[in-house]
Structure 1
Amino acid sequence: MDKFAPIGKVILLHGIWMPEATLRPLARRLAAAGFMPEIFPYSSIFSPTDATVKRLLARLKGQPAHLLGHSLGGLIALAALSAAAPSQAAGIGRVLCLGTPLKGSRVAKSLARRRLSGHLLGGNARLLQDGCCDCPQGAEVGMIAGNLGLGIGRLLARFDEVNDGTVALSETQLPWLACHCLLAAGHNGLLWSDKAAQQAVHFFRHGSFMSAD
């Protein structure tokens, strides 16, 4: 029996410089599929990673929940799972990342090297540069990546491979992922993609993605 099957709550986390409103279309699609989405508010610039993780863990107390994070939001979700006590981690369901640079972001590294732009990464600068290379506590993590290289990231980093305009495909790939899916979408386009929403629903229900058409 799937131990995650009874979980209906999904907590969504936005990426850096992104308002909560960017998650609403995806939240509506999850709600239409029978889930109970909640958008987690946090300051991606002014709140240090540790403080955000602490607040997220406090939010997770009580009712079990899946986590869905776009870009930086995926790293925050994984950091929270790593920091959770074993008893609390047991109440966290599947974790879905959208365009998350698990191996660290070359765009973030480029910004950090520049005297006038390093501050733009705020309290999550180190997390964005380092990523999350270890699977936290045997978590079941899925990744949806995009391959339409449209985004401001191309102005900051050189991509010689498939990318979504901000994150390279290789930055989203690690062997411990439960499943990985590549869609025709840009970095922010993953938030509004019908196929991404459909894959998210399938992942939360079954722990896998639907086969490509």
Structure 2
Amino acid sequence: MMRNLLLPVALCGALVTGVVWAQPSTEREQACVVLLHGLFRSAAAMKPLEWYLENEGYATVNESYRSFSTPIEELSEEVVGDGLRVCHSMGFERVHFVAHSMGGILVRQYASMHALPQETRVVMLGPPNQGSQVAEYWSEFDLFGLLETRVLEQLGTGSDSLSRRLGPVTFQLGVIAGNLRNRTLLPGFPDRPSDGTVSVAETVVPGMLDFLEMPVLHTFMIWDTSVMAQAVNFLRSGAFEREGPAGPQRETEAGN
């Protein structure tokens, strides 16, 4: 029942960006995809993307974790490691990742300590790869103990930024950045091209194979079917699709 209710919500994303279709697969994919949500979210937020990937032939492991109370180093060992173990226990040698926001930093941290399988491909959606101005701003507020400022500092742009210390990636990575900026008048939020939370420039990282800007918002990009389709395109080919039934996709240099 819940699946039937959420799928129309995800499909509405196509009305915002224009439909982009994943390249068709002739047989069931022999790969497992680990899904990692972002800060203050849960596995439930990734359900539409999980169902989309399963419909495209992938096995999925949709991880959930307490993103606001545990340091990233500890989370990455627990969550990324568990995703790999579960996929391998199901008999899959090829394991990929699709990660939203903070989830991408978990993958980078894990990969800095452990070599990912050679064929692994990773798609990051709105990741704060250069740290986040928003996270840095809110790390200065305790908010009655509701936020774990240590995690926000690790995702920020200051001296405690783990995102900025991790260095170039050594795995196959595609990054999708949203540029449908809004909320620019609120304190701490980006005043340059962004998805409303993470700026386009903050998503890039040396070593990535491909990069694509799309007119989506940070919170809702994981429910946008065009984003889902582009994620599948990268998982299958190691590149995003520049043209599809909806016409050419916009590709720009980060920050332009």
State whether TM-score is above 0.5: yes
Q: What is the CA–CA distance in structure 2 between the aligned matches of 1:167 and 1:154, rounded to whole Å?
A: 14
Comparing both structures, which one devotes a greater share of its residues to helix?
Answer: 1
Aligned 8 A contact 2:76 2:110 in 1: yes
Letter matched to residue 120 of structure 1: L
Change (3 A) 1:154 1:70: farther
Partner of 2:134: 107
**Percent identical across equivalent pairs?**
28
Partner of 2:31: 8
Partner of 1:196: 227
Q: What is the CA–CA distance in structure 2 between the aligned matches of 1:117 and 1:149, rounded to whole Å?
A: 29
1:79 to 103, 109, 112: 109
Q: Deviations over 1:67-86 (max 9, x none)?
A: 111000111111111121x4
Partner of 1:184: 215
C-alpha displacement of 1:7: 5.0
Q: What is the CA–CA distance in structure 2 between the aligned matches of 1:40 and 1:122, rounded to whole Å?
A: 23
Helix, strand or coil at the partner of 1:67 = strand
Partner of 1:97: 124
Q: Counterparts of 1:20-169 in structure 2 under 5 Å?
A: 20-55=43-78, 56-61=80-85, 62=88, 63=92, 64-84=94-114, 86=115, 89-90=116-117, 93-116=120-143, 120-122=147-149, 124-129=151-156, 130=161, 131-132=163-164, 134-136=167-169, 138-150=170-182, 155-169=186-200
Q: Deviations over 1:18-66 (max 9, x none)?
A: 1211100011111111111211111101222222112122441334310
Relative to the length of structure 1, the TM-score reads 0.86
C-alpha displacement of 1:188: 1.5
C-alpha displacement of 1:119: 5.9
Partner of 1:3: none
Aligned 8 A contact 1:69 1:97 in 2: yes
Larger Cα Rg: Structure 1 or Structure 2?
2
* Aligned alpha-carbon RMSD (Å): 2.2
Alignment of 1:175 with 2:206, yes or no, is yes
Mind listing any 5+ residue stretches in structure 1 that lack a counterpart? 1-5
C-alpha displacement of 1:170: 0.6
Q: Deviations over 1:127-186 (max 9, x none)?
A: 3122155124x21111011111245x8623243321111000110123321101111110
Q: What is the CA–CA distance in structure 2 between the aligned matches of 1:41 and 1:157, rounded to whole Å?
A: 27
Relative to the length of structure 2, the TM-score reads 0.72
Change (3 A) 1:26 1:81: same
Q: What is the CA–CA distance in structure 1 between the aligned matches of 2:142 and 2:232, rounded to whole Å?
A: 42
- Please identify runs of 4+ aligned residues in structure 1 that moved more than 6 A: none
Q: What is the CA–CA distance in structure 2 between the aligned matches of 1:15 and 1:154, rounded to whole Å?
A: 23
Change (3 A) 1:59 1:92: farther
The alignment covers a number of residue pairs equal to 203
Mind listing any 5+ residue stretches in structure 2 that lack a counterpart? 1-28, 249-256
